[in-house]
C-alpha cells in the first residue's frame, strides 16, 4: 500500500510527522514516500506542484497531505503560489468529493464560541464538490472592458459553472453518505439568483428519487450561513458546490471550536483520496512545536477507512484519539483550564501510547 | 419629502405599518405613498415590480421596504418571483452601497448562539456592493455543453464580474464609513482563486492610499466566515462584493442573535436609498401579529439620517427603541425569561409612546 506523504508548509511538516508515527505504530507495512509540495516545493523545484510530486501522488493509493501557504510567498505570481498545489492535485487526480465532518467533541465543547446547548454533540458532514464551479470555470481573466458603462476600464471576471454529470456524481456521493448516517440531506445553492444553482437544484431533485429513504431539503447559501449559527444540529449531511462549500465548511469547522481536530478527505470515483486537516498551515506558529496534530492523525484514520480498506485500523486510531482527550491532554489551541497542555510531539507520543 | 412605502409579503405589511406609525408620530410632514411589491404585486398586477411601483420608487426621496417572498410563489418562473422586485429596485435605482450593521444590543446578548464574552457589545458594519458581481454579470444561462468532457449534457453558468470603477465607488463609500467609525476596514475576497477578486483587491489597495488614517486589511471569504465566529469584535468595517456580502452579512446578523433588530440601507451615489430590515418575510409567522417591527423602525431611522437629512429625528427613534428595550419589552423572537412578551402592535405602541 503506497502512501504519498506531502507535508507542505508552515506547521505541515510537524503535524504530518506525528500522523506518520501513528501509522507506523499500527504494526502494518505501509510504503510511505515523501515529496515536497506548496511553498516548500517552490523553494526546491521552482513550482508548488513539481512533476515528481504529481507523479508520486498519481501512483500512490492515497495521499497524506499537511498544509500549504506562507506569507513569504505572497508576492509570487498566482500560478506559482502554494495554494496552486492543492488546486492542482484536486483537479489532476479528479478528487471531486470533499468530505468535511464538523464534529464537536464532548470534551472540547467549551472551546467553541457557541453556547454548549447549541453546539454540544454536533456531528454533521459537509460534502463539497471539488472539481468544478467558479474554481475552474472558463472563461476567466482580467481585461479591458467592452461594456458601454465601463468601456476602457479594466474588469475581472470568472465563470461559475456546473454541468449535469458533475452535479449528479457529487449528488450520488452525498446521498450515499446520508444513507449511512441520519438520512437527511440539505442541498445548498443560490437558485433564486444563479443559473448554475438552478441546474444544481434540478439535478438534486431528480436524483433524490433514487433515494426514497433519504429526506432532501434545499437552502439558499445565505440562509445556510445563518442556520449553521442558529441551529447547527438541525443538519445531517450538507451537499454544496465548490465555492459555497469552501465558505460553509470553514464556518462549520470554526463553530465547533475544535478546528484543530477536524480531518477531511477528497476522493475520486474509485475512492482514492487525499487526506488533510481542515485547518491551514498557520505560519505564525510554525516551528514552535505547539500545533495540534490530531486533525492530521484523524485524517490518516479516514485514509485507512476510505482508501485503504482498513476500517479496523481506522477505528483504533480514532479510539486512541478519544483516549488522549479523555486523559485531559490538550495542545494550546484546545486548552482550557483544568486540562494538561502538551506539545505537538507529546500529543503524538500520547496517541502512539494509546494505540 | 416623498417616501415610497413598499410593504411586500409575509410579515412585511405588519412591520411596515408600525414603522409608518412611528414616522407619523415624529410631528413632521412626510408624503407617504404606498405601492405593492413582490408576491403582493404579482397577485394584483402580474409582476413583482410593476411599472407603477418602480415609477413611485424612482420619484420618491427614499423607500421604506418591508420584505418579499412566500412559498406560494415558489412555482413561478424566476423572473416573476418576489425576489426579482428587490433585485430590480437595486439595479434600476443604482443602489450600489448596502450598509448592514451587525450590532449586539446589550439587553439582547442572551439571545445570541454565541457566548456573551464573544458577542457582547458587537458593533460592526458590513458594506456590501449591490449592483455588480455574479448577481448581474453576463453571460449566464442554461445550455447544452460544448465542453469535450460534458458534450451534449446541460450546463448552468454565471459570470462573476467586477470592473475597476465599480470597486472604486464601493471602496470609497466603505473607507468614508470607516473613517467615521473605528478607522479599520477589512476587504473580503477570494483573490487566491478568482480573477475578479484579484482586481478587487488591487483596487482596494490603490484607493486606500487616499485614506492614510484608515487601516486596510484583506481576508479570504472562507477565513472571514471563520473569524466572524471566532472573534467578531476584531472587525470594524467589512467591505465585500455582492455574493460574499450576501453570505457574510447574514452570518453576522445571525451571530448577534437579534436579527429582528437589524436595519439596512441600500444607497445610490446621491444618498437616495432603500431601507429594509435585515431579516426576511417570514411567511410562517405572517398575520399572527408576533413579528418584531424594530428592525423596520430602525430602518426608518436610518432613512431619516442618510437620505432625508434629519439626524435629530433619527436619534429620537433610536433612543425610543433603546427605551422600550430597557423597559423589558420583547417580541417573541428576542424573548427571554424575566422580560415581557409583546405583540407587533404593542411594540409599535411602546415606541410611539417612548417618542
Ligand atoms: C487554499 C484554497 C485555494 C483552498 C480552497 O479555496 O479550496 C482552501 O481554502 C480549502 O478550502 O482547501
Ligand atoms: C432575496 C435575495 C435575492 C437577496 C439577495 O441575495 O441579495 C437577499 O438574500 C438579500 O440579501 O437581500
With a Cβ cut-off of 6 Å, ligand 1 is lined by A 83, 86-87, 246; B 192-193, 222
The CA distance from B231 to A79, in Å, is: 32
pLDDT at B14: 98
- Of residues B159, B222, B250, nearest to A222 (C-beta): B250
- Measuring from atom 1 of ligand 2, which residue has the nearest CA? B83
- Quick one: which atom of ligand 2 is closest to the CA of A220? 9
Q: What are the pLDDT digits (tens) for B147-191?
A: 988 999 999 999 999 999 999 999 999 999 999 999 999 999 999
Domains in chain B with CATH codes: 1-99+259-355 (3.40.718.10), 113-256 (3.40.718.10)
Q: What is the mean pLDDT of chain B?
A: 97
Q: How far A43 CA sits from the closest chain B CA (Å)?
A: 19
The answer to whether the beta carbons of residues A238 and A188 sit under 8 Å apart is: yes
Say yes or no for a CB contact (<8 Å) between B195 and A221: no
The answer to whether the beta carbons of residues B11 and B66 sit under 8 Å apart is: yes
pLDDT band, very low/low/confident/very high, at B74 (cuts 50, 70, 90): confident
Contacts of B165 in chain A (CB under 8 A): 150, 153
Q: What are the pLDDT digits (tens) for B101-140?
A: 999 999 999 999 999 999 999 999 999 999 999 999 999 9
With a Cβ cut-off of 6 Å, ligand 2 is lined by A 192-193, 222; B 83, 86-87, 246
Closest CA to A63 of A131, A1, A136: A1
- Of residues B190, B193, B247, nearest to A225 (C-beta): B247
- Measuring from atom 5 of ligand 2, which residue has the nearest CA? B246
- Quick one: which atom of ligand 2 is closest to the CA of B249? 11
Say yes or no for a CB contact (<8 Å) between A198 and B222: no
Chosen for mutation from A48, A77, A113 (greatest number of chain B CBs closer than 10 Å) is A113
State the DSSP H helix or E strand holding residue A32, giving kind and residue range, or none if neither: strand A31-34
Radius of gyration of chain B (CA): 20
CA neighbours within 13 Å on the CB side: how many for B91? 13
Closest CA to B68 of B90, B51, B52: B90
State the DSSP H helix or E strand holding residue A299, giving kind and residue range, or none if neither: helix A294-306
| Angle, helices A294-306/A12-24, rounded to nearest 10 degrees | 50
pLDDT band, very low/low/confident/very high, at B211 (cuts 50, 70, 90): very high
Q: What are the pLDDT digits (tens) for A232-286?
A: 999 999 999 999 999 999 999 999 998 999 999 999 999 999 999 999 999 999 9
Which of B198, B220, B222 gets mutated to test ligand 1 (max ligand atoms within 8 A of its CB)? B222
- Measuring from atom 7 of ligand 1, which residue has the nearest CA? A246
Answer yes or no: is B305 a known binding residue: no
- Enumerate the β-bridge partners of residue B114: A114
- Of residues B147, B194, B226, nearest to A158 (C-beta): B194
Contacts of B153 in chain A (CB under 8 A): 163-165
Q: How far A304 CA sits from the closest chain B CA (Å)?
A: 28
- Measuring from atom 5 of ligand 1, which residue has the nearest CA? A246
Answer yes or no: is B98 a known binding residue: no
Q: Residue B15 above 90 pLDDT?
A: yes
Q: What is the 3-state secondary structure (H, E, C) of chain B?
A: CEEEEEEECCCHHHHHHHHHHHHHCCCCCCEEEECCCCHHHHHHHCCCCCHHHHHHHHHCCEEEEEECCCHHHCCCCHHHCCHHHHHHHHHHCCCCEEEEEEECCHHHHHHCCECHHHHCCCEEEEEEECCCHHHCCCCCEEEECCCHHHCCCEEEEEEEEEEHHHHHHHHHHHHHHHHCCCCEEEEEECCCCCHHHHHHHHHHHHHHCCCCCCEEEEEEHHHHHHHHHHCHHHCCEEEECHHHHHHHHHHHHHHHCCHHHCEEEEECCCCCEEEEECCCCCHHHCCCCCCCCHHHHHHHHHHHHHCCCCHHHHHHHHHHHHHHHHCCEECHHHCCCCCEECCHHHHHHHHHHHC
Which of A6, A132, A246 gets mutated to test ligand 1 (max ligand atoms within 8 A of its CB)? A246
Answer yes or no: is A81 a known binding residue: no
pLDDT at B271: 95
Q: How far B83 CA sits from the closest chain A CA (Å)?
A: 7
Q: Alpha carbon B39 to chain centroid distance?
A: 19
- Of residues A155, A190, A195, nearest to B162 (C-beta): A155
Contacts of A198 in chain B (CB under 8 A): 78, 142, 156
Map grid coordinates 431601507 to a residue. Answer: B275
- Quick one: which atom of ligand 1 is closest to the CA of A90? 7
Provide CB contacts within 8 A for B55, sequence distance 6+.
none
Which of A194, A222, A226, A227 gets mutated to test ligand 2 (max ligand atoms within 8 A of its CB)? A222
The CA distance from B253 to B228, in Å, is: 10
CB atoms within 10 A of CB A1: 16
Map grid coordinates 450600489 to a residue. Answer: B96
pLDDT at B9: 97
In the reported structure, the alpha carbon of residue B243 is separated from the centroid of ligand 2 by a whole-number distance in angstroms of: 9
Closest CA to B348 of B293, B295, B289, B278: B293
B162 counts as catalytic: no
Contacts of B147 in chain A (CB under 8 A): 163
B222 counts as catalytic: yes
- Quick one: which atom of ligand 2 is closest to the CA of B82? 1
Closest CA to A333 of A276, A282, A265: A282
State the DSSP H helix or E strand holding residue A84, giving kind and residue range, or none if neither: helix A83-92
Closest CA to A12 of A276, A230, A192, A257: A276
Answer yes or no: is B349 a known binding residue: no
The CA distance from B248 to B242, in Å, is: 10
Contacts of A142 in chain B (CB under 8 A): 195, 198-199
In the reported structure, the alpha carbon of residue B246 is separated from the centroid of ligand 2 by a whole-number distance in angstroms of: 7
| Angle, helices A242-256/B221-230, rounded to nearest 10 degrees | 20
pLDDT at A179: 97
Chosen for mutation from A221, A227, A247 (greatest number of chain B CBs closer than 10 Å) is A247
pLDDT at A74: 86
The CA distance from B87 to B92, in Å, is: 9
Answer yes or no: is B285 a known binding residue: yes
- Measuring from atom 8 of ligand 2, which residue has the nearest CA? B246
Q: How far A142 CA sits from the closest chain B CA (Å)?
A: 6
Does the pTM exceed 0.85?
A: yes
b/e map A242-255, b = 16+ CB within 10 Å: bbbbbbbbbbbbbb
Answer yes or no: is B100 a known binding residue: yes
Spans in chain A with pLDDT lower than 50 = none
Its sign, for the CA torsion B148, B150, B156, B162, is negative
Question: How is residue A111 written as a grid cell?
Answer: 472551546
The CA distance from A80 to A57, in Å, is: 19
| Angle, helices A311-326/A294-306, rounded to nearest 10 degrees | 160
List the end-to-end C-alpha distance of chain B, in Å, as a whole number: 21
Q: Which residue of B has its CA nearest to A77?
A: B192
Say yes or no for a CB contact (<8 Å) between A165 and B158: no
Answer yes or no: is A100 a known binding residue: yes
Say yes or no for a CB contact (<8 Å) between A250 and B222: yes
Provide CB contacts within 8 A for A209, sequence distance 6+.
none
The answer to whether the beta carbons of residues B158 and A194 sit under 8 Å apart is: yes
| 3 state SS of A188 | strand
In the reported structure, the alpha carbon of residue B98 is separated from the centroid of ligand 2 by a whole-number distance in angstroms of: 11
Say yes or no for a CB contact (<8 Å) between B154 and A163: yes
Amino acid at each position: 500500500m503506497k502512501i504519498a506523504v506531502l507535508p507542505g508548509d508552515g506547521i505541515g511538516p510537524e503535524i504530518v510527522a506525528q500522523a506518520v508515527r501513528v501509522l507506523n505504530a499500527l504494526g502494518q507495512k505501509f510504503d510511505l514516500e515523501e515529496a515536497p509540495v506548496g511553498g516548500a516545493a517552490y523553494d526546491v523545484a521552482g513550482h508548488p506542484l513539481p512533476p515528481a510530486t504529481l507523479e508520486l501522488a498519481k501512483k500512490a493509493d492515497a495521499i497524506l497531505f499537511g498544509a500549504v501557504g506562507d506569507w513569504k510567498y505572497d508576492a509570487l505570481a498566482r500560478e506559482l503560489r502554494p495554494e496552486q498545489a492543492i488546486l492542482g492535485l484536486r483537479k489532476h487526480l479528479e478528487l471531486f468529493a470533499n468530505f468535511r465532518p464538523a464534529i464537536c467533541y464532548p470534551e472540547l465543547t467549551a472551546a467553541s464560541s457557541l453556547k454548549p446547548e447549541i453546539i454540544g454533540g454536533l456531528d454533521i458532514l459537509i460534502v463539497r464538490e471539488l472539481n468544478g464551479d467558479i474554481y475552474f470555470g472558463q472563461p476567466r481573466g482580467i481585461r479591458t472592458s467592452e461594456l458601454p458603462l465601463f468601456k476602457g476600464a479594466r474588469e475581472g471576471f470568472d465563470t461559475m459553472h456546473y454541468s449535469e454529470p458533475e452535479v449528479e456524481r457529487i449528488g450520488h456521493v452525498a446521498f450515499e453518505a446520508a444513507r449511512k448516517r441520519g438520512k437527511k440531506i440539505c442541498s445548498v445553492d443560490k437558485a433564486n439568483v444563479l443559473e448554475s444553482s438552478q441546474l444544481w437544484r434540478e439535478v438534486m431533485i431528480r436524483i433524490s428519487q433514487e433515494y426514497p429513504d433519504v429526506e432532501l431539503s434545499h437552502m439558499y447559501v445565505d440562509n445556510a450561513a445563518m442556520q449553521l449559527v442558529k441551529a447547527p444540529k438541525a443538519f445531517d449531511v450538507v451537499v454544496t458546490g465548490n465555492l459555497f462549500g469552501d465558505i460553509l465548511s470553514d464556518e462549520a469547522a470554526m463553530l465547533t471550536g475544535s478546528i484543530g481536530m477536524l480531518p477531511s478527505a477528497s476522493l475520486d470515483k474509485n475512492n482514492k483520496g487525499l487526506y488533510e486537516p481542515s485547518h491551514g498551515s498557520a505560519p505564525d506558529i510554525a516551528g514552535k512545536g505547539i500545533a495540534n496534530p490530531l486533525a492530521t492523525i484523524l485524517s490518516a484514520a479516514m485514509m485507512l477507512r476510505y482508501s485503504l480498506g482498513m476500517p479496523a485500523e481506522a477505528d483504533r486510531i480514532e479510539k486512541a484519539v478519544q483516549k488522549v482527550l479523555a486523559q485531559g491532554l490538550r495542545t494550546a489551541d484546545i486548552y482550557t483550564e483544568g486540562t494538561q497542555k502538551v506539545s505537538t510531539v507529546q500529543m503524538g507520543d500520547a496517541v502512539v501510547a494509546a494505540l
